[in-house]
Amino acid sequence: MTKFRSNGKLLITGEYVVLDGAISLALPTKYGQSLNVEEISKQGIHWIAFNNDNKKWLEAFFELEELLLKPDISSLAKSISEEEYLLKILRTANSLNPNLLKNSTGFNVTTQLDFPKNWGLGTSSTLINNIAQWFKIDAFKLLELTFGGSGYDIAAAQHHNAITYERTKEKSNVLNVDFDPAFKDELYFVHLNRKQNSRDSIEHYRKQSKAELQKNIAKISSLTSQFLTCESLSEFKLLIEIHETLISKIINTPKVKSELFPDYPGAIKSLGGWGGDFILVTGKEADMNYFKEKGYNTIIPYMEMIL
């Protein structure tokens, strides 16, 4: 049996603007997803996916003939079932390296998440990176041809330390960076108990003029550098406020603090698609009662979340 594993991700700076080349800070998480592959004599792929509670959430069998068909990339944008989505990823992977399936009869494949699917830590990106490792293909190319996006989540899946990520037309620039805040015991991740549809935010973001976009890319890239050199919690909180104000204006969306937690004394930062998944908050352990009293019970200290 062969085992592959990929790390989950959290985007600390550059949400939305990472798509257009802003230098952004991403952190791989201790939570991730594994993929186990066992070669079998039966033709095809028997696939079983388990969630973090060891409950099966997907089981499918794909005949070899199904997998060898040319992938219909256009339909990935449509609303399709998880089984259809998986089939299209496998077909795309096979199109990038036909030798793996050509030289085998079949496989038993088991995937295991170690975080809840609704946490937004990268169920798709960890799957794509694992499949790319299995097929020995470029994970960024597989992402581009399937799920799409900036690719920072793939970079985080492949690294075990903080990275800066810059997407360019030619390639993605990924740099290992030193991000180990002295005040990390006062950083927490709070889950908002919902997934966010970012369509309106992205639509407004796309209406920026080219000049505005370039100006905002430069501002976010500069803020990322400042996050990396920040030495005090007070400076970190100020950087959060500046970053939140800038992104709020870019996407025409209220800041999560003003919308949900206006009386919280610490700083609050949205991560990834605004309004859903995790937020980053500053404060002491006792301050987390504020969120618990409002019904937000999934609160993870920085040290438990980040690699």
For residue range 224-242, list pLDDT tens digits in order: 999 999 999 999 999 999 9
Question: What percent helix, strand, coil does the chain show, rounded to 5?
Answer: 40, 25, 35
Lowest mean pLDDT among 78-92, 126-140, 174-188, 221-235: 78-92
pLDDT, tens digit, 9 for 90 and up, residues 139-179:
999 999 988 889 999 999 999 999 999 998 888 999 999 99
Q: Which residues contact 116 (CB under 8 A, 6 or more apart)?
A: 51, 52
Instruction: Tell me how far the alpha carbon of residue 137 is from its chain's centroid.
Output: 20
Is residue 76's pLDDT more than 60? no
Q: Which amino acid is at 200?
A: D
CA 89 – CA 92 distance, rounded (Å): 5
Task: Answer positive or negative: Cα dihedral of 290, 291, 294, 297.
Answer: negative
CA 293 – CA 192 distance, rounded (Å): 13
Report the 10 Å Cβ neighbour count for 169. Answer: 5
Query: Of all residues in the chain, what percent carry a pLDDT higher than 90?
Result: 79
CA 60 – CA 45 distance, rounded (Å): 8
Q: Which residue has the tokens 């997907």?
A: 58
Q: Which domains does the chain have, with CATH numbers?
A: 2-176 (3.30.230.10), 184-305 (3.30.70.890)
Report the 10 Å Cβ neighbour count for 265. Answer: 9
The β-bridge relationship of strands 187-191 and 299-301 is antiparallel
Q: Which residues contact 51 (CB under 8 A, 6 or more apart)?
A: 57, 113, 116, 117
Q: Which residue has the tokens 């006792």?
A: 286
Q: Which residues contact 11 (CB under 8 A, 6 or more apart)?
A: 18, 24, 25, 26, 152, 153, 271, 272
CA 144 – CA 146 distance, rounded (Å): 6
Specify the 3-state DSSP secondary structure of 126: helix
Could you give phi then psi for residue 194, rounded to 5 degrees? Answer: -155, 155
- pLDDT score at 147: 85
Quick one: tokens of 37? 């592959």
- pLDDT score at 149: 86
Mean local confidence (pLDDT), 75-92: 81
**By the 8 A CB rule, do 274 and 15 touch?**
yes
* pTM, rounded to two decimals: 0.93
CA 247 – CA 168 distance, rounded (Å): 21
235: left (phi over 0), alpha (psi -120 to 50) or beta: alpha
Lowest mean pLDDT among 115-124, 176-185, 202-211: 202-211
Q: Which residue has the tokens 């339909």?
A: 75
